[in-house]
Chains A and B, each alone.
Chain A
């Protein structure tokens, strides 16, 4: 992970802590200023009330110069908390009465330098010893409204400071508790946020390293739980996609193997057949089927002619085609009768063909010396013959059943052999159903009749030309539509 990485945890804690400090700071300031005001207010009320009280009670005694009574009233006033001194000053500035009797008849002097005034305009002094006090005054008015002097009472300002100090300590305590609680809260909150994020990050790292089976477990039902759910879904989707991609790759590989197998089965050139020639064309569809054709040289100027179509696709079909080719080549050389070859082929393959793949095979033996063909078919559709003499197309479809469906007598009893003569320039057209079932965009199929028409049109030409003509006709018919099945054509013709 990046060295500069800074956990969100610290950021969250920082923000919460700052907010707590700001809020408690503002609240402390407001609280203190309110408290201070109310304290001053209280002290002021008390001071004023003491001064007035003295003024009311003392005026007559001053008037009558009852010093002892006056001193008694002042002493009583001194019982109030925080009172520093209490005196009555005459209009000439001489102290008429004082709680400290020694000060009587002395000139009144301000207790220190003025440092300010209270909201009610009472003056705050600072004494030379550093003590702060508030002096309250009241006019002592005797009976008949005779002014006898000014009452001056000093109350300690430090009373307020001490009360405020206590408040400061309380507020500081509350602030510390609030900070501690907010730090704990922020830690828990940020852990609650960062823990699932860390689990997510770890999960992403694991999934990124290729383990798509890893599941992120976040129990909370909030956005992070939602994100974890989405992430798990994503890895599932990725897993599926990966599986599909692998399967596709495996299938492509299989198709490639099948394609190579099939290609290796098909003859690249045909044996020399004297007055006869052969030509073939093969075009596999996207999905490899199992078309196979061959011309097998037999004894005494005879040739086995094969056109086969395995119903399955892919490697299984190609493998069956390999087996079929092997057995067919052996049986063809051992048996002159095409029906017997197909029976042996069915018996040989039936036990070995797994599943439900079947193969249709047209097999004929061409006797070049006699100019005759003996043909048999294992479920393959008709072949077409162009009779040069009559310029006519004939269709032959010996009865039978596909290889791999029926057993023993059920198969044998169905087989039929047809023998025809091959005249000069006659042509045999063998093909698989990829030709007759070629499909146009409209959905129409090329059909057997169109194959026959094509052969009728080109029958007089060479085998290669007949094929080219047929393929061209199919292309025009289908309009270039993609073929869905393999196309295989084998043309065998007599040249003279």
Chain B
């Protein structure tokens, strides 16, 4: 399935819903799409909703780390939500869990922003 990125906002939190497969062939689509969203909102709280993202290759994880660090430098935050089991395995195997926070649902991720301000 082709990669898609869709944006919505909920109580000031920017939610980017990713669908399809994120690998070396679609990573550019993610980077461009997310750049457009982040250029619009700038320093904000972001959640990547990965519920419908069926596959993430190492290129995809690299892109997540890139965006996390790029936006982090601007004072923005990114959190991951609703990761599929395979992705979650790689997420902790590679150690990305030590850098980007992940939550079971978008709501939990949004709530965590509320708690930490």
**Interface residues of A, Cβ cutoff 8 Å to B:** 285, 287, 309, 311-313, 355-358, 360, 379, 381, 397, 399-402, 405-406, 410-411, 414, 433, 437, 443, 445, 484-485
What is the CA–CA distance of A484 and B55 in the complex, to the nearest angstrom? 14
Given contacts A356-B66, A357-B62, contact A406 B57 (CB under 8 A): no
**Residues A397 and B57 in contact, CB atoms below 8 Å apart:** no
A414 touches which one: B61, B90, B95 (CB < 8 A)? B95
Interface check B99, CB cutoff 8 A:
yes
Shortest CB distance B23–A (Å): 6
What is the CA–CA distance of A406 and B96 in the complex, to the nearest angstrom? 8
**Residues A313 and B94 in contact, CB atoms below 8 Å apart:** no
**Residues A358 and B25 in contact, CB atoms below 8 Å apart:** no
**Residues A405 and B59 in contact, CB atoms below 8 Å apart:** no
A-B contacts at CB below 8 angstroms, number: 65
What is the CA–CA distance of A414 and B95 in the complex, to the nearest angstrom? 9
B21 touches which one: A285, A399, A401, A443 (CB < 8 A)? A443
Given contacts A443-B1, A485-B24, contact A381 B96 (CB under 8 A): no
What is the CA–CA distance of A285 and B59 in the complex, to the nearest angstrom? 14
**Residues A405 and B24 in contact, CB atoms below 8 Å apart:** no
Residues of B62-117 whose CB lies within 8 A of A = 62, 65-66, 69, 90, 93-96, 98-99
Count chain B CB atoms within 10 A of each CB in A379, A381, A433, A437 and give the residue with the most.
A379
Interface check B8, CB cutoff 8 A:
no
Please give, as numbers and ranges, the residues of chain A lying within 8 Å of B61 by CB-CB distance: 311, 358
B25 nearest in chain A by CB position: A484
**Residues B69 and A379 in contact, CB atoms below 8 Å apart:** no
Given contacts A379-B93, A401-B98, A405-B95, contact A311 B62 (CB under 8 A): yes
Known: A356-B62, A360-B58, A400-B95; 10 extra A-B contacts, CB below 8 A, are: A285-B24, A311-B61, A313-B24, A358-B58, A379-B93, A402-B95, A411-B95, A437-B55, A484-B25, A485-B23
**Residues B24 and A406 in contact, CB atoms below 8 Å apart:** no
Chosen A-B contacts, 28 in total, with CB atoms closer than 8 Å, are A285-B24, A287-B24, A311-B59, A355-B66, A356-B62, A356-B65, A357-B62, A358-B58, A358-B61, A358-B62, A358-B94, A360-B94, A397-B93, A400-B95, A401-B94, A401-B95, A402-B95, A405-B65, A405-B99, A406-B98, A406-B99, A414-B95, A437-B55, A443-B1, A445-B55, A484-B24, A485-B24, A485-B57
Given contacts A397-B93, A433-B57, contact A484 B99 (CB under 8 A): no
Shortest CB distance B53–A (Å): 13
**Residues A405 and B93 in contact, CB atoms below 8 Å apart:** no
**Residues B98 and A410 in contact, CB atoms below 8 Å apart:** yes
Q: Is the interface of A mostly helix, strand, loop or mixed?
A: loop
**Residues B95 and A433 in contact, CB atoms below 8 Å apart:** no
What is the CA–CA distance of A414 and B92 in the complex, to the nearest angstrom? 10
Residues of B17-42 whose CB lies within 8 A of A = 21, 23-25
**Residues B94 and A379 in contact, CB atoms below 8 Å apart:** yes
**Residues A433 and B69 in contact, CB atoms below 8 Å apart:** no
What is the CA–CA distance of A356 and B96 in the complex, to the nearest angstrom? 12
**Residues A437 and B96 in contact, CB atoms below 8 Å apart:** no
Total contacting residues, chain B, CB less than 8 A: 21
Please give, as numbers and ranges, the residues of chain B lying within 8 Å of A406 by CB-CB distance: 95, 98-99
What is the CA–CA distance of A383 and B23 in the complex, to the nearest angstrom? 22
B63 nearest in chain A by CB position: A356
What is the CA–CA distance of A414 and B69 in the complex, to the nearest angstrom? 22
Count chain B CB atoms within 10 A of each CB in A287, A406, A410 and give the residue with the most.
A406
What is the CA–CA distance of A313 and B58 in the complex, to the nearest angstrom? 11
Please give, as numbers and ranges, the residues of chain B lying within 8 Å of A379 by CB-CB distance: 93-95
B27 nearest in chain A by CB position: A313
What is the CA–CA distance of A360 and B21 in the complex, to the nearest angstrom? 21
Shortest CB distance A124–B (Å): 99
Please give, as numbers and ranges, the residues of chain A lying within 8 Å of B94 by CB-CB distance: 358, 360, 379, 401-402, 405
A346 nearest in chain B by CB position: B95
Please give, as numbers and ranges, the residues of chain A lying within 8 Å of B65 by CB-CB distance: 356, 358, 405
Nearest first, the 3 A-B pairs at minimum CB distance are A401-B95, A379-B94, A311-B58
Please give, as numbers and ranges, the residues of chain A lying within 8 Å of B69 by CB-CB distance: 356
Count chain A CB atoms within 10 A of each CB in B1, B21, B57 and give the residue with the most.
B57
Please give, as numbers and ranges, the residues of chain A lying within 8 Å of B90 by CB-CB distance: 381
Please give, as numbers and ranges, the residues of chain A lying within 8 Å of B66 by CB-CB distance: 355-356
What is the CA–CA distance of A362 and B78 in the complex, to the nearest angstrom? 29
Shortest CB distance B42–A (Å): 21
A405 nearest in chain B by CB position: B95
Shortest CB distance A396–B (Å): 13
Please give, as numbers and ranges, the residues of chain A lying within 8 Å of B93 by CB-CB distance: 379, 381, 397, 399-400
B1 nearest in chain A by CB position: A443
Shortest CB distance B3–A (Å): 12
Please give, as numbers and ranges, the residues of chain B lying within 8 Å of A443 by CB-CB distance: 1, 21
Shortest CB distance B43–A (Å): 20
Please give, as numbers and ranges, the residues of chain B lying within 8 Å of A414 by CB-CB distance: 95, 98
What is the CA–CA distance of A311 and B96 in the complex, to the nearest angstrom? 13
A377 nearest in chain B by CB position: B93
A379 nearest in chain B by CB position: B94
Shortest CB distance B78–A (Å): 13
A312 nearest in chain B by CB position: B62
What is the CA–CA distance of A263 and B62 in the complex, to the nearest angstrom? 24
Please give, as numbers and ranges, the residues of chain A lying within 8 Å of B24 by CB-CB distance: 285, 287, 313, 484-485
What is the CA–CA distance of A373 and B65 in the complex, to the nearest angstrom? 33
B61 nearest in chain A by CB position: A311
A403 nearest in chain B by CB position: B95
A413 nearest in chain B by CB position: B98
B58 nearest in chain A by CB position: A311
What is the CA–CA distance of A397 and B94 in the complex, to the nearest angstrom? 11
Please give, as numbers and ranges, the residues of chain B lying within 8 Å of A285 by CB-CB distance: 24
